[in-house]
Amino acid sequence: MLPFVALICGLVVLVWSADRFVDGAAATARHAGMPLLLVGMVVIGFGTSAPEMLISAIASTQGNPGLALGNAYGSNISNIALILGVTALISPVPVPAKLLRSELPVLVAITLLTVVLLWNLSISRMNAILLLLAFAAVILWWIIIALRHKNTEKLLTASELGKDDLMPLKPAIWWLVVGLVMLVASSRLLVWGAVEIATTLGVSDLMIGLTIVAVGTSLPELAAAVAAARKNAHDLVLGNIIGSNIFNTLAVVGIAGVIHPLDIGGEVLYRDCLIMGVLTCSLFAVAWRGHYRLSRLFGSMLLLSYVAYLGLLGFQILGYL
């Protein structure tokens, strides 16, 4: 029972500490004079992907590449199919033209790059470095865009959603430090619990990463998305999901691959990357054909696809497929 307790406690503390870390990081950045747009795209994007980064880095260090990749790609799948599906069901999501012209095509291109790099069923350190260089280029591009845009009042950050006052500097720094420390501690606890459960049940660490860990690390994005949808702050929902998927695909996998080269099974390429690619391309296509809008029907289709994906994983775990 101890690994299950460690997994549950790790997930709970992870979600709590990620929220505190994002709040502290965003407020500290605002006090430092960073533009709000830059805070939203870079600070919040990094903060909400910090759990995935830490878990994948620790898993790679401990020789569990399946958990590292499952966490990254499973989170991407749940971000689109689960989180965006729930959000669209709550309220149809308008897609800003700028997002459709720039960020979404970048995410599609990054997903295709992932398929190319995984074609030989491994991620070498050179491939991982390439992912990190692409990540640095995306961050630089975001910074340039943020500094060029003066009209930033429409962008809300996760820490400001539903709050009128900016957190004072001292509490902001306190939560930044405490949140980071708890993130690291809870990530180590979660990885240990997940690996022990996988070993005990005879399930691969990839499956644990794609399901329990991926959903758990996506909970901060889900909470922010539901809150944003209720307040009609749809730009935050889409920006958070797309930014998180870019961070996961480039930074999370890149960091894990630099720490330890990753050998993968064919199912990662032919099942998980394929589903991730289909979901990403369908998001772009539906937004384009739907006149910059994601309907409730599309949201229900996303949720059904996620249920079908979990069912597929379940059948494979039980050995029926």
For the segment 73-87, the average pLDDT, to the nearest whole number, is 91
For the segment 64-86, the average pLDDT, to the nearest whole number, is 89
* C-alpha dist (Å) from residue 96 to 170, 273, 279: 36, 26, 19
- In one-letter notation, the amino acid at residue 70 is G
> Across all residues in the chain, what is the average pLDDT?
81
pLDDT at residue 163 in the model: 45
Between the two ends of the chain, the Cα-to-Cα distance in Å is 29
What single-letter DSSP state applies at residue 91? S
Residues in the chain, total: 321
Separation of alpha carbons 261 and 271, rounded Å: 21
The 3-state DSSP class for residue 294 equals strand
Residues 6 or more apart whose CB falls under 8 angstroms from that of 239 comprise 40, 41, 99, 103, 155
% of the chain residues with pLDDT over 90:
21
pLDDT at 58 over 80: yes
pLDDT at residue 304 in the model: 96
What single-letter DSSP state applies at residue 295? -
Separation of alpha carbons 173 and 40, rounded Å: 18
| Contact by Cβ (8 Å): 47, 18 | yes
For the segment 238-267, the average pLDDT, to the nearest whole number, is 87
For the segment 161-180, the average pLDDT, to the nearest whole number, is 75
Separation of alpha carbons 280 and 296, rounded Å: 17
Exposed, middle or buried by CB within 10 Å (0-12, 13-18, 19+), for 125? Answer: middle
Rounded to the nearest 5°, which phi and psi values hold at 168?
-60, 160
The kind and range of the H/E element at 243 are: helix 234-247
256: left (phi over 0), alpha (psi -120 to 50) or beta: alpha
CATH class of 2-318: mainly alpha
pLDDT at 289 over 90: no
| Contact by Cβ (8 Å): 284, 105 | yes
% of the chain residues with pLDDT over 70:
84
pLDDT at residue 231 in the model: 67
Residue (of 249, 215, 220) closest to 237 by Cα position: 220
pLDDT at 158 over 90: no
Write the pLDDT tens digit of every residue in 173-227: 898 888 888 877 887 788 888 888 887 888 888 888 888 888 877 776 676 677 6
pLDDT at 43 over 70: no
pTM for the structure as a whole: 0.81
Residue (of 125, 311, 290) closest to 211 by Cα position: 311
Residue (of 179, 207, 209) closest to 59 by Cα position: 209
Give the pair of three-digit tokens for residue 158: 């996760």
pLDDT at 22 over 80: no
